[in-house]
Amino acid sequence: MYPTLHSALPSSNLLHFESSTQRPRLFFPKKMHSFGYRLNALLTFSVTILAIICAFASYSDNLNLPSPSAQIQVLNVNWFQKQPNGDDVVSLTMNISANLESMFTWNTKQVFIFVAAEYETPLNALNQVSLWDGIIPSKEQAKFWIHTTNKYYFTDQGSNLRGKEFNLTLHWHVMPKTGKMFADKIVMSGYHLPEEYR
Amino acid sequence: MGWIGETVESIKSLQIRQVLTQAVSLGMIVTSALIIWKALMCFTGSESPVVVVLSGSMEPGFKRGDILFLHMSKDPIRAGEIVVFNVDGREIPIVHRVIKVHERQETGEVDVLTKGDNNFGDDRLLYAHGQLWLQRHHIMGRAVGFLPYVGWVTIIMTEKPIIKYLLIGALGLLVVTSKD
């Protein structure tokens, strides 16, 4: 890391005087050594420090224990049909309210949230259908409520949705400025679809 | 002229033993890089453990030039995960988020639909013609870690190959001319 005593001494073989009129001639490999080594040391040192800071920033996220809360109300089933290809499709109106402020740390770039309907059918052990999503860019916007219809079609694989009980889950995906990404969810159960198409 | 002449001279003046030592150290650098890469492949279970984001379809989460660390485990794929997948007939893998999952009762096979956070619609337009769902074998890994900007190094080097050759040349010269 430090220049060696050898190369720092002016009397070393770093300088060669060929004649008195010529400028001192630098012996190339030695010069290469000191300059290259210093550049290398500086670069290695700064990259190491940067890596340590990044690792620390990512690790510090573990110290934060978020306590988010959320509520979703299904206000209305707008329409409920069977598509020509045989798949059931539903349009819902929902009221989503959540407080995700505790998720934000100094290393949080944004939090991606989405609401998914989850249910079981005779064909599938698990169906997850994303209905709505959004990006929360800052802590100030992390406490919100929204009145919305589903952004993506609530479509089943098949025709199993009549009278179906389903869960609504609020998932979040914390995207950091650097390091490890976190994800978790709140499950809300006890929602039913109507017995008949409408 | 003097500088170049001296360099050539210093290369000429090398002993055979030194040349061999330098060849070995150059080989060590190359092989250790390879070892690290292969070890990462083993460790993460993904055939490309580190990928560079090339498009803006996941903005503002991932921008062009950011690096993602992938992990491929036996765990089932779930909605919300960011996966890297290959579509038949496309060379470049895509990094997008899973928005729909249908997992079969008995076989555990999955049908997955993805979408870029910054895209308006889902990815069915990107899939092969007539393909509605991704299956497990399309998916190369899921993103678990993120590092900003570092990927620009590889983007610049693939788009401007001259810089790559200059860099390799300079590094090679440095290794050859360094004496210890």
CA gap A173, A114 in Å, rounded: 9
Considering only the C-alpha atoms of chain B, give the largest distance between any 2 of them, rounded to a whole number of Å: 77
Percentage above 90 pLDDT, chain A: 62
Q: Report pLDDT digits (tens) over A136-150.
A: 999 999 999 999 999
Q: Determine, for residues A28 and B80 on separate chains, whether the beta-carbon distance falls below 8 Å.
A: no
CA gap B65, B155 in Å, rounded: 7
Q: How far apart are the first and last CA of chain B?
A: 26
CA gap B50, B140 in Å, rounded: 11
Give the orientation angle of helix B161-177 with respect to helix B2-12, to 10 degrees. Answer: 60
Residue A10, pLDDT score: 44
Q: Determine, for residues B103 and A125 on separate chains, whether the beta-carbon distance falls below 8 Å.
A: yes
Interchain contact B147–A (C-beta under 8 A): yes
Residue ranges of domains in chain A, CATH in brackets? 5-62 (no CATH), 64-192 (2.60.40)
CA gap B87, B111 in Å, rounded: 14
Q: Determine, for residues A32 and B178 on separate chains, whether the beta-carbon distance falls below 8 Å.
A: yes
CA gap A119, A127 in Å, rounded: 5
Distance from CA of A153 to the nearest CA of B (A): 10
Nearest residue, CB atoms, B79 vs list A58, A130, A175? A130
Q: Report pLDDT digits (tens) over A92-106.
A: 999 999 999 999 999
Q: Determine, for residues A114 and B80 on separate chains, whether the beta-carbon distance falls below 8 Å.
A: yes
Percentage above 70 pLDDT, chain A: 83
Distance from CA of B52 to the nearest CA of A (A): 14
- Catalytically active residues of B are 57, 96, 123
Q: Report pLDDT digits (tens) over B41-65.
A: 888 888 788 889 988 888 888 999 9
Residue numbers in A near B122 (CB within 8 A)? 152
Per-residue pLDDT of chain B (180 residues; tens, 9 = 90+): 577 777 777 767 767 787 788 788 888 988 999 999 999 888 888 878 888 998 888 888 899 999 999 988 888 899 999 999 988 888 888 999 999 999 998 888 999 999 999 988 888 888 888 889 999 999 988 999 999 998 898 898 888 889 889 988 888 787 777 655
Q: Report pLDDT digits (tens) over A103-112.
A: 999 999 999 9
CA gap B58, B68 in Å, rounded: 12
Q: Between residues 5 and 34 of chain B, which touch chain A (CB distance below 8 Å)?
A: 6-7, 10
Interchain contact A41–B (C-beta under 8 A): no
Interchain contact A178–B (C-beta under 8 A): yes
Residue B14, pLDDT score: 67
**Residue A124 burial (CB < 10 Å; 0-12/13-18/19+)?**
buried
The answer to whether A130 and B79 are in contact (CB under 8 A) is yes
Q: Determine, for residues B145 and A32 on separate chains, whether the beta-carbon distance falls below 8 Å.
A: no
CB pairs under 8 A between A and B: 98
In chain A, which residue's Cα lies nearest the Cα of B149? A178
Taken in order A35, A36, A41, A46, is the CA torsion positive or negative? Answer: positive
Interchain contact A127–B (C-beta under 8 A): yes
Residue B6 has which token pair?
């001296």
